């Protein structure tokens, strides 16, 4: 799945490139996604809620990178976790993307008004139908993660949540490690705040690297963490 320079992490049969490109709040991002893929990214993260699925699909096609070399994640929003709504959301996402499957499908946020068994059954069904190769959850607590694992007829491979040096997620990442899951870290640069951090700036100078490289390396070297930075600037 990864380009030659990017290793894979493995979990329950899934092989996920160890760094990805996020598309949250990027709007029309086809050119940016195509540029990211041409530069060597092979893991693209989107969601129905982001409104970027159509652009992501266009960017994949414009890049010229074969579909089977790309690991693509999308998500079902918390409003659509009932069985029929879930299925319609997946169909809409695939239509937006212009693709017949994704590599990873996540429940984007838990919904306390809907019993967790319902979306877990729908998630497993989507996998069995070949609409996604792997499944997981996002923004779940450890307790909710354990409940999801217990209720889901298919193995979960991933939990996605915000993680960077300003937000301690040690307990959650360790919980994922013990359960054999990959942890995807969104906002790995702290929404840009880390780029102005004096401690990281000092480390970056001493290492001859950029602040962003230091922050991303800190995540990657933990072993089961996949950061998904993003940029609106192709440069």
> Where does 142-226 have alpha helices with state H?
142-151, 170-178, 198-207, 211-220
Lookup result for tokens 């923004």:
139
Q: Is 50 a catalytic residue?
A: yes
Sign of CA dihedral 64, 68, 73, 77: positive
Catalytic residue among 50, 80, 163, 186: 50
| Token couple for 128 | 């069995």
According to DSSP, the β-strands at 14-17 and 8-11 are: antiparallel
Residue 54 near residue 84 (C-beta atoms within 8 A)? no
Active site residues: 50
């Amino acid at each position: 799945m990864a380009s030659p320079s990017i290793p894979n992490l493995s979990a329950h049969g899934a092989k996920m490139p160890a760094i990805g490109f996020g598309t949250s709040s990027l709007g029309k991002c086809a050119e940016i996604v195509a540029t990211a893929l041409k530069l060597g990214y092979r893991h693209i993260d989107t969601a129905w809620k982001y409104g970027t699925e159509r652009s992501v699909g266009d960017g994949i096609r414009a890049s010229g990178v074969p579909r089977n070399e790309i690991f693509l994640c999308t998500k079902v929003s918390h409003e659509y976790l009932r069985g029929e709504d879930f299925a319609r959301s997946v169909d809409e996402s695939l239509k937006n993307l212009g693709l017949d499957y994704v590599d990873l499908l996540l429940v984007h946020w838990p919904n306390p008004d809907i019993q967790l068994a319902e979306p877990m059954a729908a998630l497993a069904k989507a996998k069995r139908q070949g609409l996604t190769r792997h499944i997981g959850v996002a923004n779940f607590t450890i307790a909710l993660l354990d409940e999801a694992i217990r209720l889901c007829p298919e193995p979960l491979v991933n939990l996605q949540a915000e993680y960077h040096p300003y937000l301690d997620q040690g307990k959650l990442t360790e919980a994922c490690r013990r359960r054999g899951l990959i942890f995807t870290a969104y906002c790995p640069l702290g929404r840009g705040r880390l780029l102005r951090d004096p401690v990281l700036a000092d480390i970056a100078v001493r290492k001859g690297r950029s602040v962003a490289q230091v922050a991303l390396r800190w995540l990657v070297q933990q072993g089961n963490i996949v950061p998904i930075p993003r940029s609106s600037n192709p440069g």
